[in-house]
Structure 1
Amino acid sequence: MSSTRVTPSGAASVNPAPSGDGKLHGRRAIGLVATLILAVVAFQLNASMITPALPDMARTLGVDIDSVSQVSSLFFLAGAVGGVLLARWSDFIGRKRGLLIVLGILSVGTLLCLFAPNLQILLVGRVLQGASSAAFQLSYVILNESLTKKMFATMLGVLTAINGGVGGVDGWIGGLLTDAFGFRSLFVVIFIVGVLALVCVWLAAPEDTGAASSGTMDWWGAAALSVGLICLTYFVSTGGAQGWAAPLTLAFLAGTVIAFVAFVQIEKRRATPLIAVQHLKSRQVWPVIATTVLTLSSVFAVINFTVVMLSQNSEVGFGMNAATSALMFLAPPALIGLAAAPFAGWLSARVGWISILRIGLVICLAALVVITLFPQSQWVVFGMIAVLGVAYNGLVLTTTNGLGVIQSPAEAPSALPSMNSAGFGIGASLGIAIVAPFVASGGIGGFTLALWVSVAITVLALVASFILKAAPSRD
């Protein structure tokens, strides 16, 4: 049986379940969760397993490292754009159909990468793989629609933990496979996992018996938003490389402004917009995106850039090699987050998503201040990075993902999750671009200034979280 409810827009929304409360229980719930875990793993392997193979790609395809870096940059850019488009499209065509399309795109892209004779074909494949980032947003929404509140919260924490790359284990395996068989062996593994996920979704995902949104997909708005995200991404990367006042940087900034203004004007005129302008102005929506962008700009930059660079600096830092640095400062927070994220979801369902977000941000802020005050104390930095594993990888990432789902407008359930996902990529890029010049200036003063900048951005994230207003219950 399936239970049907009507959204404020008048569209039928379906919650497939055999139970009286309209939610899946028992084996069906476990089977759905396992299927969605497989679907997001199929995407995540593309994000974190490939990095060790970049040098081998460059050698095999006869290109330099600078050129092959596009294998990662275009992947994440496509993820920001594809996540928004494909996740929102599922509101009109159905969740299961949307997820099958996403996994189909992933499989086609993986085949192109596997047999790519040159860098150009490889990049086309990576763009298709990146667009499949919608697997995460669709999985979050399917969990919310199919499981009880408490089970949704815990399982969302599990998926969030996977989003961190499973503690760096997949990257390590990627390095072993590349050394033994070359970079193409990674795409063989990814293709097998992707096809297996596609079959499982076909068999285990709830059937589509209605649409969550009435009307049709707003492709014009999607196009304007996509252009804006692309221009914003290149504005950040170009600004960090060539300077924020460089002509090309300013050109991308102008393109960003024009595209977003066009997006707002288009949304005002659409019967079924990508996301209504009144929602974008609501305290239930924009502070979620702002908190995500600001948190990634601060904490992500500290863990994945500033501390890594400091640990490898032999003059004012700890003088570690790359492997030791990763083992000490990257693997611990990822592994801790793997355990903390499901607990964070469980706790959020009982205490409140916004409350746990604020608690996580306060702990992040305290840890960053300690690192900033004692940047040359290796064990103090290590201890605070471990704290960030709980606060950032566990509490903050789980709650920002969860809020993206539960705060989304009822007539557009996938709109906010998809835009919030784009905020993750934009925030990570922006944070590194902001602090990189200070780190590159050399000396402990440059590192300290970079850390204080991250502290200031974290304060802004905390402020945004206090502006955030909880959406009314939709029970």
Structure 2
Amino acid sequence: MGQATYRGGRLVSLVATLILCVLAFQLNASMLTPALPSIAASMNVSVDLMSNVSSLFFLASSIGGVVLARWSDFIGRRRALIIVLLTLTVGTILCIFATNLTILLIGRVLQGASGATFQIAYVFLREKLDTKTFGIVLGILTAVNGGVGGFDGYLGGVLSDKYGFQSIFIVILAIVVFTLICVMLVVPKEDSAVTTGKMDWWGSGALSVGLILLTYFVAQGSAVGWFAPITLIFLVGMVISFIVFWYIEKRSASPMIAVQHLRSRQVWPVVTSTLLCLTGIFAVINFTVVLLSQDQEVGFGLDAAMSGLLFLTPAALIGVFAAPISGWLAGRFGWIRMLRLGILVSIAALVAILLFTGSKWIVFSAVALLGITYNGLILTTINGLGVLQSPDEAPSALPGINGAGFGVGASLGIGLVAPFVGQGTLGGYTTAMWVSIIITVLALVSSLLIVPKNGQKV
């Protein structure tokens, strides 16, 4: 952990700058969603094709978080942040002037790479702050990862309706340019590489291909069936890519992450806990409950606006306040302990939704509780453990891989429950909840296998 080199005004300016960095990415994720139908209409493409605007963005985010964050170990955090923000700037300019879907998608991929700002910021905080301050500030950044309490999505809709979707990117571009200036002024130039050797581009390439194939495996599995030929082709390609990655890492002088660490209980249970938590809980909050609340036959029969107001906004707002508190609690009582507590109480909330599916207000209360336990405790602690458990010679390796688990877990969770939720029956919703509960129980088991690095109190 760092030596508290940042205090007072210097600490505030650093935290504010890092918040701007992650916010520049997050706004690209949240503000554009309401504008997708109007973009599809203006470019004369189907909504199905337009979904790639979001899916490719998050795929690029997963890859960027792994590759660019690890690269920062070799070139320094400041330089890496500048490169990421410049890439985001180019991507945003392309989106502003995009006249067709192809150019827009290229811009979105470049924007998505800025997802690495989260992992770089987390590691930078660990290196510069003491234990107590690290937990609180990491909680603040985790809260930003959920958006701006739902206001960002609303603002994106207003801008799109009044001025066209380009206005969203213009606002984002202004924020990115301002953020880039802040990084140049606030992050010290003496920030340098923290590890020797050269970036393992072959290993990062194999891992990136594996993540791409994994994403399409999940997408095809949920769309056309898990045993469809195209789905199995992506599965085989994914397995081969990860085997190649393992082979490269065993022989690389400066691997993305050394094989002995991948086998260690200091590392792999952190990744599996992240993956399983996102798979089990994300789909409940952002898919199953939302569709249940709008179901006219067996659900609550709400319209989209009221559904979002009751079952999305409260959890997001609660998470904004719960995440910093969770970081403080983790720093005081232990990161692993607080993760396990968050998962355990989340399981209780999921069981409540399962048992009282027909009660709108019990489901509302359970989702609000998940705002504390999932958006607060779980997301903060798994981000923190990704940093604290990473190998000393590769401090950004585990945060990057762990970050990829967010996107994969969210996609996998929705893909697994979608066939049951899509039945539109009480039995279908019940089965979907059982799937989510079982996976979250496995996440708890995985968390019990985490061993603190070097015996430190985490």
Using the size of structure 2 for normalisation, the TM-score is: 0.98
Q: Distance in 1 between matches of 2:24 and 2:455?
A: 33
Aligned pairs (5 A) from 1:217-228:
217-228=199-210
Alpha-carbon distance between aligned partners in 2 of 1:106 and 1:382, rounded to the nearest angstrom: 37
Q: CA deviation at 1:92?
A: 0.2
1:409 partner letter: P
1:152 and 2:134 aligned: yes
1:193 aligns with 2:193: no
Offset at residue 442 of structure 1 (A) = 2.5
Number of residue pairs the alignment of both structures matches: 457
Residue pair 2:77, 2:191 contacting (<8 A) in 1 also: no
Whole-Å separation in 1 of the counterparts to 2:46 and 2:164: 17
CA–CA distance in 1 between the matches of 2:236 and 2:427?
A: 33
The amino acid that maps onto 1:291 is S
Q: How far did 1:82 drift?
A: 1.1
CA offset digits 1:125-173 (Å, max 9, x no partner): 0000001100111111111111111111000000000000121110011
Residue number in structure 1 paired with 2:155: 173
Residue pair 2:294, 2:304 contacting (<8 A) in 1 also:
yes
Question: Paired residue for 2:334?
Answer: 352
Distance apart, 1:182 and its partner CA = 0.8
Matching residue within 302, 308, 312 for 2:284: 302
Match of 1:254 among 229, 233, 236: 236
CA distance in 1, matches of 2:358, 2:264: 43
Match of 1:288, as an amino acid? Answer: V
The alpha-carbon distance between structure 1 residues 383 and 93, as it changes in their structure 2 partners (threshold 3 A), is same
Q: Which residue of 1 aligns with 2:419?
A: 437
Residues 454 and 474 of structure 1: CA distance in aligned 2, closer, same or farther (over 3 Å): closer
Deviations 1:282-333 (A, max 9, x none): 1010111100100000110000000001000000000011111011000000
Name the counterpart of 1:24: 6
* Correspondence for 1:399: 381
**Aligned: 1:83 with 2:65:** yes
Matches for 1:320-339 after TM superposition, within 5 Å: 320-339=302-321
Q: Which amino acid aligns with 2:389?
A: Q
> How far is 1:209 from its partner?
4.3
Paired amino acid for 1:220: W
Deviation at 1:236, TM superposition (A): 0.3
Contact preservation (8 Å) 1:275, 1:412: yes
Corresponding letter in the other structure for 1:213: T
Counterpart residue type for residue 461 of structure 1: A
Aligned-pair identity in percent equals: 61
SS in 1 for 2:149: helix
In structure 1, what is the equivalent of residue 430 of structure 2?
A: 448
Q: How does 1:415-426 map to 2 (within 5 A)?
A: 415-426=397-408
Give 2:87's aligned amino acid: I
Report the Cα distance in structure 2 between the residues aligned to 1:295 and 1:418, rounded to whole angstroms. Answer: 17
- 1:204 is aligned, of 186, 210, 219, to 186
Report what 1:18 is aligned to: none
Match of 1:11 in 2: none
Q: Deviations over 1:43-86 (max 9, x none)?
A: 10001111000011111111111111110000001111111110
Question: What is the deviation of 1:357?
Answer: 0.3
SS in structure 2 opposite 1:112? helix
2:327, 2:192 → 1: CA distance?
29
Whichever residue aligns with residue 472 of structure 1, its letter is N
**Distance of 2:356 and 2:4 partners within structure 1:** 53
> Paired residue for 1:238?
220
Give the partner amino acid of 1:34. Answer: A
Aligned mates of 2:70, 2:109 — CA distance in 1: 19
Which of the residues 245, 250, 263 maps onto 1:268?
A: 250
What SS is found at the alignment partner of 1:167? coil
1:471 Cα deviation (Å)? 1.1
2: CA distance between counterparts of 1:97 and 1:338? 29
One-letter amino acid matched to 1:227: V
Question: In the alignment, is the contact (CA less than 8 A) between 2:295 and 2:424 conserved in 1?
Answer: no
Is the Cα contact below 8 Å between 2:266 and 2:389 reproduced in 1?
Answer: yes
CA contact (8 A) 1:97 1:208 kept: no
CA contact (8 A) 1:94 1:208 kept: no
Q: Does 1:38 align with 2:20?
A: yes
Q: Does 1:57 align with 2:39?
A: yes
Question: Cα distance, 1:109 vs. partner?
Answer: 0.2
How many Å separate the matches in 2 of 1:206 and 1:344? 29
Task: Single out whichever of 323-332 and 24-33 deviates more from structure 2.
Answer: 24-33
- Superimposed CA distance per residue, residues 357-377 of structure 1 (whole angstroms, 9 cap, x where no aligned partner): 000000000000010011111
1:10 aligned residue: none
| Letter matched to residue 116 of structure 2 | A
Report the Cα distance in structure 2 between the residues aligned to 1:137 and 1:54, rounded to whole angstroms: 28
Distance (Å, rounded) in 2 between the aligned partners of 1:338 and 1:428: 20
Q: Aligned equivalents of 2:416 and 2:50: distance in 1?
A: 24
Instruction: Classify the secondary structure of the residue corresponding to 2:93.
Output: helix
| Counterpart residue identity of residue 197, structure 1 | T
Aligned pair partner of 2:88 in 102, 106, 116? 106
Partner residue in 2 for 1:97: 79
1:284 and 2:266 matched:
yes
Q: Which runs of 5+ in 2 are unaligned?
A: none
What RMSD over aligned residues (CA atoms) do the two structures have, in Å? 1.2
Structure 1 contact 77–130 (Cα < 8 Å) conserved: yes
Contact 1:405 1:414 in 2 (8 A): yes
1:121 aligns with 2:103: yes
Q: Which residue identity is paired with 1:37?
A: I
Per-residue CA deviation, residues 209-253 of structure 1 (Å, 9 max, x unaligned), is 431111000000000000000000000000000001111000000
Which piece of structure 1 moves more, 23-32 or 228-237? 23-32
The letter of the residue matching 1:48 is: S
In structure 2, distance between residues paired with 1:212 and 1:255: 34
One-letter amino acid matched to 1:407: Q
